[in-house]
Structure 1
Amino acid sequence: MKNIAINKEVQNGLTPQSVLSDLIEGNNRFIDNNLQAADYNALVKDTVGGQFPKAVVLSCIDSRVPVEQVFDQTIGDIFVARVAGNFENVDILGSLEYSCAVAGSKLVLVLGHESCGAVKAACDGVELGNITAMLDNIVPAVKVAALDFEDDVDSTNKDFVAKTVEQNVRLTIERIREKSQILADLESKGAIEIVGGVYSLQTGKVELL
């Protein structure tokens, strides 16, 4: 049973690759319905004085993708930033920079998911209130994915949606590197890695891109 949170000494001993491996192992436990037991009361008390998460995950807000459970992580283990369509903006970038440059996280994981509603809406050109401006962040992925399809470039085409989900993750990673000199420098020094994956609603598995 996990009852002690990550401390600074443990965090310092982690590498980006070891953290990624840990998350994938946790995802395998999730798939097998074999999640680790945790003493939440103990972890709450243990983290009052500070936090030293190993990673930050940028995910969609989708209720079917509970990030901590998907990777079998608990209190104090990971930061989670969520926005519909798992894209970056200035607030998300600042959050990622805080996670890595200030709090010491070793990994940035951009997590898309199968059949994403925000991606589907972008594919269909939905316009509604503030949703319109939000979807503008996903439109570049729609345009890139559309290059591989001659027709049916809308949400009725599951293959097109899946391709757009992947492209959205890849483009988000590219823009994180372009827009955040802090994160780009940390990655170039090997202090962090920025990676992407897609979660399957059907199986619960995260496939790295």
Structure 2
Amino acid sequence: MNFSKLVISSLLLAVTGLIACQDKTKSLNNTEKVNETIEIDSSEVLSEKVLTAEQQAALTPDTVLAILKRGNEDFISDALTIRNTSERIREAALGQYPKAVILSCLDSRVPVEDVFHRGIGDLFVARVAGNIVNEDILGSLEYACKVSGSKLIVILGHEHCGAIKAAIDNVKLGNITALLSKIRPALTADTPFQGEKSTKNEAYVHHICLQNVKLSIRNIRDKSPILKEMEAKGEIKIIGGLYKMETGNVEFL
């Protein structure tokens, strides 16, 4: 065989191989597409409708608390259902009547709606590092309850909180300094603690997390006459909770 024929033969083999590889790739891609098709049983879809004003008004604070506890049980047992998000977006477009308002820490490891197995339109969620209370947070809570009818306020702290540790260590940094000043009163709370009072002691960090939740609850009652009166009348409840990082369980206080 001469050189030109050898080159042509080699080219033909290369082209044939390339076509075969392309066909194989197409076949694999088609297989992948088939494998990506997932059928979801209707029982696994969160079918609850967005609340109406009438349904929200009929709820009591204790009923809402029971709903949140049951939702948290779903979360920790990995029994979450698929949310009918698109439908709920449309249903909630012209109005919202959430059951509760959650004041949570900024921490990315605390997915509030998932923690309570709720969907769009179910909860107001306010997030700020250290779940502290300031004027803006108070205004948000008053709006959620007095204006929009929510029945329950939950101050949701969590274990291993970075803001709590920073307050214990008396960190000074920009606007963080002012934020931490709202946590530091929890360090001098009346509840005694026996042991090393430093961030090296997880028991102490846990203790201050609890004290900080209680501090936020006191601040709400002391600084919001609106919410204090609503609670006194039984229209709302103001409670605390601590999210356990290892299990996902919320321990209500």
Q: Say whether the 8 Å CA contact 1:88–1:172 is kept in structure 2.
A: yes
Contact conserved, 1:85 with 1:116, CA < 8 A, in 2?
A: yes
Counterpart Cα distance in 1 of 2:48 and 2:71:
17
Q: Which residue of 2 aligns with 1:42?
A: 87
Partner residue in 2 for 1:66: 111
Partner of 2:12: none
Q: Does residue 1:187 correspond to 2:231, yes or no?
A: yes
Residue matched to 1:87: 132
For structure 1, the residue ranges without an aligned partner over 5 or more in a row are none
Q: Deviations over 1:35-81 (max 9, x none)?
A: 13321110000011100000000000000001000000110000000
TM-score (norm 1): 0.97
Residue 152 of structure 2: aligned partner: 107
Mapping for residues 1-209 of structure 1, pairs under 5 Å: 1=45, 2=47, 4-144=49-189, 147-149=192-194, 152-209=196-253
Letter in 2 for 1:103: S
Aligned partners of 1:5, 1:171: CA distance in 2, in Å? 33
SS of structure 2 residue aligned to 1:129: coil
2:149 and 2:191 mapped to 1: Cα distance? 38
Work out which structure has the larger RCO, using CA pairs closer than 8 Å and 6 or more positions apart in sequence: 1
Runs of 4+ aligned residues of structure 1 deviating over 3 Å after TM superposition are: none
Once residues 147 and 105 of structure 1 are traced to their aligned partners in structure 2, the CA distance between those partners, rounded to angstroms, is 35
Report the RMSD for the aligned CA atoms in angstroms.
Answer: 1.2
Is 1:200–1:206's contact at 8 Å kept on the other side of the alignment? yes
| Letter of the structure 2 residue corresponding to residue 179 of structure 1 | K
Count of residues paired in the alignment: 208
Alignment partners' CA distance in 2, 1:202 and 1:169: 19
Percent identity over paired residues: 50
Higher Cα Rg: structure 1 or 2? 2
